[in-house]
Amino acid sequence: MAGVLVWIETSEGKIRKVTREAASAGAKLAAAQNAPLCAVLFNGKDLLPELGNMGFSKVYTADGAAFEKYSGEAYADALAAAGEQCGADVFLTGATALGRDLSACLAAKLDAALAIDVTEIKYDAKPLSVVRPVYSGKLLADVELTAGKKVISLRPNVFPVTEKPAAAPEIIPLSTETAAIRAQVLKAIKAAEGVMDVAEATIIVSGGRGTGGAAGFKVIEDLARTLGGAVGASRVAVDEGWIEYSHQVGQTGKVVSPVLYIACGISGSTQHFAGMGTSKFIIAVNTDPDAPIMEKADFAIVGDLFKVVPVLKEELLKVVK
Amino acid sequence: MNVAVILQQVPDTEAVVKPNPAVPGGIVEEGVKFILNPYDEFAVEEALKITEKDGGEVVGVCIGPDRAENAIRMAMAMGMERAILISEPAALEADIVTQGAILAAALKTLSPRLILSGREMIDNQNDAAAAVVARKLGLPHVLAASKIEVTGDKAVVVRDIEGGSLEIETSLPAAISCQKGLNEPRYPTLIAIKRAKNKEIKKMTLAELGLTAAAPKSRVTALRLPQARAAGVKITGTPEEVTGKCLAWLSGTAKVI
């Protein structure tokens, strides 16, 4: 028996976009295997109606204090139990911070094949195969998942969401015994109000050495806000202390795949490119026409970011309004 | 009690890596400089800070070929006292979960109070090691720590997530992976680099760890270069001119607005 099981990751009571992407990829995989698509939802009864359109035949729910806060151990136990019940051999999560954590715990528990941050699934391949970036995106690895059970985390913003009206899933409360949680979340600390994270953003405006300092990031932030996007940064800007590490994109920062990446005053080292090279469209603004990023951008503007970006923001405001 | 650190040797971040057609899943090593995984430096530094405060030694475990000794010596120059290196081909070629089980078996021989690793190995982008090792040893874990406070048999850890962080309390022993921002790794002194040459690196086989080579759970069949991005358009002009062209491109070609 085969089946695909998806972890429904929520953030502030909403289903994460990458979870919808994983559900759509899961539906395609389940169809290819002629197997059921199932899901596990922790403490999210309000979200059940929304899951109707995602193509699940069964949704396992786990509620109660043990699942209120994330625990890799408790969540992996529950997913393994649900997988056992529905005969799942493929487990999907988004490659978010917690999705990666959970997929590692689950793979270790099930002695499964683990594929992290996957950007392509070869749906019809036997054994099931995937593609994942390695060496910071400098290379792609074709990976055959040969073990009986496979745990895959999917890079956000890569897989399309293809939801269509479907029959309402069967809801099955999961009764699992949870061991004492030893790594206990005490509290969640939110970043400053209105600060969007780069990892799942569809538009990112990034600043580098050319911003010249913390004050220079203001024009970057203004443009990001106008576009409803997140603020990114190169390593130089972070190392200089102009902006927090959580904004860093690149080999030693975050890996992002937005629809639009606007690099302002960033030369585009291989390390930076490793973090944003899979963006759908790249715009670069740089005074140096020969900077590496200018050869790789889809739209390269030779100019001073302090002159170009504010005008761009004003004109965009008119369009957006 | 000792603090153990999982080490990995990786190509330098500046290195040009190319697939090696002769070795499926391998890269051309000629001309590539190998270094201690950058995130591992945060783990070694944190381990040193903890043992300097509470006593104990910093010990290491590493799966890697003979050349990985250089990465271990770097950690030793920072202050690590001894390490286990597992160089058997079956270990080098093993998948991420199997390698986690091998590391767990090696760590068990060291009975550490705390196990640290880098947030991610920057070669195979494996950020699961600490979690897999913890599961195999039946220990709790926390990944991507940007702050660790050890008090007695507990640690309070701040862990980065999208849009913020989580404060997590864990019992010890535990496995914790270390994120940039946790500390400022020290630079080894020349004397420390010299001293590191005489520290013990114990080579261990899978058999010595009580393991037998398992069937691989996954296998890299090929490495390839991603499709190069085609160069786009490059324009110059006044801010108003370039903005006009940019908006036309955003709505016409990219269809973002």
Cβ pair B187, B44 in contact under 8 A = no
Pairwise CB contact (< 8 Å): B140 & A73: yes
**In chain B, which residue's Cα lies nearest the Cα of A135?**
B123
**Taking 80 as the threshold, does the pLDDT of residue A58 lie above it?**
yes
Residue A155: name the closest of A174, A130, A125 by CA. Answer: A130
Burial of residue A5, with CB atoms counted within 10 A of its CB: 0-12 exposed, 13-18 middle, 19 or more buried: buried
Is residue A185 in some structural domain? Answer: no
Pairwise CB contact (< 8 Å): A11 & B233: no
Which 3 state secondary structure label does DSSP give B201?
strand
**Taking 70 as the threshold, does the pLDDT of residue A152 lie above it?**
yes
A19 with A135, same domain: the answer is yes
Residue B237: name the closest of A32, A146, A308 by CA. Answer: A308
**Taking 90 as the threshold, does the pLDDT of residue A5 lie above it?**
yes
Per-residue pLDDT in tens (0 to 9) along chain B, 257 residues: 899 999 999 999 888 999 999 998 999 999 999 999 999 999 999 999 999 999 999 999 999 999 999 999 999 999 999 999 999 999 999 999 999 999 999 999 999 999 999 999 999 999 999 999 999 999 999 999 999 999 999 999 999 999 899 999 999 999 999 999 999 999 999 999 999 999 999 999 999 999 998 899 999 999 999 988 888 999 999 999 999 999 999 999 888 88
Q: What is the CATH number of the domain that holds A251?
A: 3.40.50.1220
**In chain A, which residue's Cα lies nearest the Cα of B17?**
A138
β-bridge pairing A58-62 and A170-173: parallel
Q: Which residues of B touch A97 (CB under 8 A)?
A: 143-144, 159-162
* Residue A1: per-residue pLDDT: 55
β-bridge pairing B200-203 and B141-151: unpaired
Is residue A59 in some structural domain? Answer: yes
Token output for B160? 């980065």
Point out the domain boundary residue: A151, A173, A195: A173
B110 vs chain A: nearest CA distance in angstroms?
21
A147 with A89, same domain: the answer is yes
Burial A151-177 (b: 16+ CB within 10 A, else e): bbbbbbbbbeeeeeeeeebeeeebebe
Is residue A187 in some structural domain? Answer: no
Q: Tokens 């443009």, residue?
A: A223
A126 with A239, same domain: the answer is no
Pairwise CB contact (< 8 Å): B234 & A187: no
Phi-psi region of A315 (alpha: psi -120 to 50; beta: other; left: phi over 0): alpha
β-bridge pairing A10-11 and A14-15: antiparallel
Nearest by CB to B221, which of A144, A251, A302?
A144
A27 vs chain B: nearest CA distance in angstroms?
23
Point out the domain boundary residue: A129, A153, A173: A173
A310 with A223, same domain: the answer is yes
- Alpha carbons B102 and B62: distance in angstroms, whole number: 10
Is residue A180 in some structural domain? Answer: no
- In chain B, the domains with their CATH numbers are 3-203 (3.40.50.620), 227-257 (no CATH)
Pairwise CB contact (< 8 Å): A183 & B96: no
Question: Best residue in A109, A182, A219 to probe B by mutation, most B CBs within 10 Å?
Answer: A182
First-to-last CA distance in chain A?
Answer: 53
A59 with A158, same domain: the answer is yes
A16 with A161, same domain: the answer is yes
**In chain A, which residue's Cα lies nearest the Cα of B215?**
A147
A148 with A27, same domain: the answer is yes
Pairwise CB contact (< 8 Å): B232 & A197: no
A233 with A168, same domain: the answer is no
Pairwise CB contact (< 8 Å): A114 & B217: yes
Pairwise CB contact (< 8 Å): B215 & A146: yes
Query: Structurally, how many domains does chain A consist of?
Result: 2
Is residue A195 in some structural domain? Answer: no
- Tens-digit pLDDT profile for residues B4-17: 999 999 999 888 99
Residue A10: name the closest of A1, A2, A22, A28 by CA. Answer: A22
Where does the pLDDT of residue A163 fall: very low under 50, low under 70, confident under 90, or very high at 90 and above? confident
A214 with A145, same domain: the answer is no
Nearest by CB to A146, which of B170, B219, B254?
B219
Percentage of chain B exceeding pLDDT 70:
100
Point out the domain boundary residue: A158, A173, A188: A173
Nearest by CB to A139, which of B17, B141, B215?
B17
A167 vs chain B: nearest CA distance in angstroms?
33
Cβ pair A271, A292 in contact under 8 A = no
Q: What is the CATH number of the domain that holds A139?
A: 3.40.50.620
Token output for A93? 């999560």
Chain CA centroid to CA A241, Å: 26
**In chain B, which residue's Cα lies nearest the Cα of A301?**
B235
Token output for B120? 């991610």
- Tens-digit pLDDT profile for residues B42-62: 999 999 999 999 999 999 999
Token output for A30? 């389940």
* Residue A191: per-residue pLDDT: 80
The pTM assigned to this predicted structure is: 0.94
Which 3 state secondary structure label does DSSP give B251?
helix
Q: Tokens 């398992």, residue?
A: B214
Q: Which residues of B touch A290 (CB under 8 A)?
A: none
A61 with A146, same domain: the answer is yes
Supply the range of the domain harboring residue A104. Answer: 4-173
Residue B181's contacts (CB-CB under 8 Å, 6 or more residues apart) are A245, B146
Is residue A193 in some structural domain? Answer: no
A157 with A270, same domain: the answer is no
A82 with A211, same domain: the answer is no
Cβ pair B176, B50 in contact under 8 A = no
Cβ pair A38, A86 in contact under 8 A = yes
Is residue A230 in some structural domain? Answer: yes
Question: Best residue in B161, B180, B183, B220 to probe A by mutation, most A CBs within 10 Å?
Answer: B161
Token output for B237? 């002009």
What are the contacts of A60-68 at 24+ separation with CB within 8 A? A60/A85, A60/A86, A60/A172, A60/A173, A60/A174, A61/A171, A61/A172, A61/A173, A61/A174, A62/A173, A62/A174, A62/A176, A63/A173, A66/A178, A66/A181, A67/A42, A67/A43, A67/A178, A68/A43
The C-alpha R_g of chain A, in whole angstroms, comes to 21
Is residue A136 in some structural domain? Answer: yes
Q: Tokens 């590490």, residue?
A: A245
Question: Best residue in A9, A243, A246, A316 to probe B by mutation, most B CBs within 10 Å?
Answer: A246
Q: Which residues of B touch A156 (CB under 8 A)?
A: none
Burial A135-146 (b: 16+ CB within 10 A, else e): bbbbbbbbbbbb
Question: Best residue in B97, B98, B165 to probe A by mutation, most A CBs within 10 Å?
Answer: B97
Where does the pLDDT of residue A279 fall: very low under 50, low under 70, confident under 90, or very high at 90 and above? very high
